[in-house]
Structure 1
Amino acid sequence: MKYNLLWVPLFAVLCCSLATAEDESSEMANNDVVKAVNAFNETPISKINVIKSDLCKKCSCISNPDYSQIDCSNKNMSKPFSEEEWKILKNGDITFDTIKMEHNLITNIIAFPAYPVKNVYLGFNQIASIEKGAFANLTELTKLNLAHNKLTTKALDPNVFKGLYSEHDFLPLGKVIELDLGHNDIHSLDADLFEHLPKLETLLLSSNTFQVIDQNTVTAISGLSFLKTLDMSFMELEELPDNLFHGPRDLETIILTGNLFDELPDDLDLATNLRELVLDENPIADLTGENIFPTLPNLRYLSMSYMPDLSIIGAGTFAELQNLETLILSSNPKLSKIDEKAFTKNTKNPEIYSFPPLEKLYLHNNNLTQLDHGLLERWDKITVLDLRYNPWICDCNNRWLVEVLMIQINNTNPLLTEDVNCDQPSTWRNVPLIELNTPEARLKCGRDGSDAASSLFLIGLLVGMLLCIPILLGSIALWRRGCFGLSRGQVEANRSLYNRANFNDDFHI
Structure 2
Amino acid sequence: MKFKNNYVIIFTFYYFFLINVTTHGDTDNNTLSRETTITKNFAPLKKSDLCTKCTCDLANNLIDCTRNLNSLLSKEEWDVLMDGDFVLETIKLDHNNISKIPILQTYAVKNLYLGNNQIDSIAIGAFQNLSEMTSLDLSHNKLTSKVLLPDVFRGPYTVTDFKALYNLKSLNLGHNDLHFLDADLFEHVPNLEELILCSNNFQIINGVSEVAISGLASLKILDISYMQLKILPQTILHGPRDLETFIAAGNLFSKLPKALTYAKNLASLVLNENPIEDLQGDNIFPMMTNLKYLSMSYMPKLRHVGVGAMSELQNLTELILSDNKFLVEIDELALAKNLSDGQYMNYPPLEKIYLNNCNLTAIPRSLLVRWDKLGVLDLRFNPWNCDESNDYLINILLPQINKTTPILAKNVECSSPPVLQNVAVLKVATDRLIDNNSSSSIFWIGLLVFIFIGFPITLGIIVLYRRGCFYLNKNDSVTSHALYNRAKFNDDFQI
TM range (shorter): 0.7 to 0.9
323 and 41 in structure 1: CA distance in 2 versus 1, 3 angstrom threshold: closer
Matched, 1:246 2:238: yes
CA distance in 1, matches of 2:26, 2:193: 59
Q: CA deviation at 1:68?
A: 0.9
Instruction: List aligned pairs for 1:65-464, cutoff 5 A.
Output: 67-79=60-72, 81-439=73-431
Deviations 1:113-145, CA, capped at 9 Å, x for gaps: 111111111111111111111111111111111
Alpha carbons 2:142, 2:177 under 8 Å: kept: yes
Q: Residues 170-201 of structure 1: CA distance to partner in whole angstroms, max 9, x if unpaired?
A: 11111111111100111111111111111111
1:293-328 Cα shifts (integer Å, max 9, x gaps):
111111111100011111111111111111111100
Partners of 1:434 and 1:153 in 2: how far apart? 57
Counterpart-to-counterpart distance in 2, 1:369 and 1:256:
29
Stretch deviating more after TM superposition (348-357 or 81-90): 348-357
1:442–1:376 CA distance, 2 compared to 1 (3 A): farther
Q: Choose from 62, 65, 76 the match for 2:57.
A: 62
Provide the rounded CA distance (Å) in 1 between the counterparts of 2:258 and 2:364. Answer: 30
- Name the counterpart of 1:479: none
Query: What is the alpha-carbon root mean square deviation over aligned residues?
Result: 1.9
CA offset at residue 48 of structure 1? 1.4
Moved more, 281-290 or 177-186: 281-290
Aligned CA distance change for structure 1 residues 380 and 24 (closer, same or farther; 3 Å)? same
Q: Quick one: which amino acid aligns to residue 143 of structure 2?
A: L
- Partners in 1 of 2:309 and 2:15 — Cα distance? 101
Measure the CA separation in 1 of the matches of 2:262 and 2:7. Answer: 95
Q: 1:436 & 1:153 partners in 2: Cα distance?
A: 60
Asked if 1 retains the 8 angstrom alpha-carbon contact of 2:101 and 2:122, the reply is yes
Secondary structure at the counterpart of residue 99 of structure 1:
strand
SS in 2 for 1:140: coil
Query: Hey, what's the Cα distance between the residues in 1 that align with 2:23 and 2:346?
Result: 92
One-letter amino acid of the counterpart of residue 397, structure 1: S
2-side partners of 1:78 and 1:405: how far apart?
A: 59
Name 1:28's counterpart in structure 2.
Answer: 24
Q: Which runs of 5+ in 2 are unaligned?
A: 437-495
Distance 1:443 1:214 in 2: 66
Question: 8 Å contact 2:311–2:334 — kept in the other structure?
Answer: yes
Q: Is the 8 A contact 2:234 2:257 kept in 1?
A: no
> CA offset at residue 422 of structure 1?
1.8
Kept after mapping to 2: 8 A contact 1:435/1:441: no
Q: Say if 1:22 and 1:184 are closer, same or farther in 2 by CA, change over 3 A.
A: same
**3-state secondary structure, aligned to 1:354:** coil
Deviation at 1:14, TM superposition (A): 5.5
Q: 2:41 aligns with which of 30, 41, 46?
A: 46
3-state SS of the aligned residue for 1:268?
A: helix
Q: Check the 8 A contact 1:50/1:93 in 2, yes or no.
A: yes
> In 2, distance between residues paired with 1:156 and 1:357?
44
3-state secondary structure, aligned to 2:45 = coil
Q: Deviations over 1:449-487 (max 9, x none)?
A: xxxxxxxxxxxxxxxxxxxxxxxxxxxxxxxxxxxxxxx
Query: Match for 1:185: what amino acid?
Result: D
Verify the 8 A CA contact 1:109 1:130 in the aligned structure 2. Answer: yes
> Within 2, Cα distance between the matches of 1:20 and 1:441?
116
Aligned-pair CA distance for 1:22: 4.0
Q: CA deviation at 1:27?
A: 3.6
Instruction: Give the paired residue count.
Output: 436
Distance in 1 (CA, whole Å) between partners of 2:127 and 2:315 is 41
Q: CA deviation at 1:8?
A: 6.0
Which amino acid in structure 2 is aligned with residue 304 of structure 1?
A: M
| 1:262 CA drift (Å) | 1.3
Please list the CA deviations of residues 48-92 of structure 1 after superposition, one character each: whole Å capped at 9, or x if unmatched: 11112111111111123xx4111111113322x111111111111
Q: Residues of 1 paired with 2:165 and 2:303: CA distance?
A: 47
Query: Structure 2 vs 1, CA of residues 34 and 323 (structure 1 numbering), >3 Å: closer, same or farther?
Result: closer
Q: Give the Cα separation in 2 of the matches to 1:122 and 1:221.
A: 23
- Provide the identity percentage: 47
- 1:315 is paired with a residue of what secondary structure? coil
Q: Give 3-state SS (helix, strand or coil) of 2:408's partner.
A: helix
Maintained 8 Å contact 2:194/2:219: yes
Partner of 1:453: none
TM-score by length of 1: 0.82
1:267 partner SS:
helix
Deviation at 1:10, TM superposition (A): 6.2
Secondary structure in 1 matching 2:392: helix
Q: 5+ residue gaps in structure 1?
A: 445-509
The AA in structure 2 aligned to 1:28 is H
SS in 2 for 1:189: coil
- Residue identity matched to 1:52: K
Q: Which moved more, 1:69-78 or 1:196-205?
A: 69-78
Assess if the C-alpha contact under 8 Å between 1:420 and 1:433 holds in 2: yes
Change (3 A) 1:396 1:113: same
Shift in Å, 1:20: 4.2
User: What amino acid does structure 1 have at the position aligned with 2:349?
Assistant: P
CA deviation after TM superposition for structure 1 residue 393, in Å = 1.7
Residues 50 and 88 of structure 1 are in contact (CA less than 8 Å); yes or no, is this contact kept in structure 2? yes
Q: Any conservation in 1 of the 2:195–2:221 contact (CA below 8 Å)?
A: yes
**2:269 match: secondary structure:** strand
* 2: CA distance, partners of 1:374 / 1:440: 23
1:356 shift after superposition: 1.2
- Summarize the Cα distance change of 1:414–1:26 in structure 2 as closer, same or farther, 3 Å threshold: same
State whether residues 342 and 375 of structure 1, in contact with CA within 8 Å, keep that contact through their aligned partners in structure 2. yes
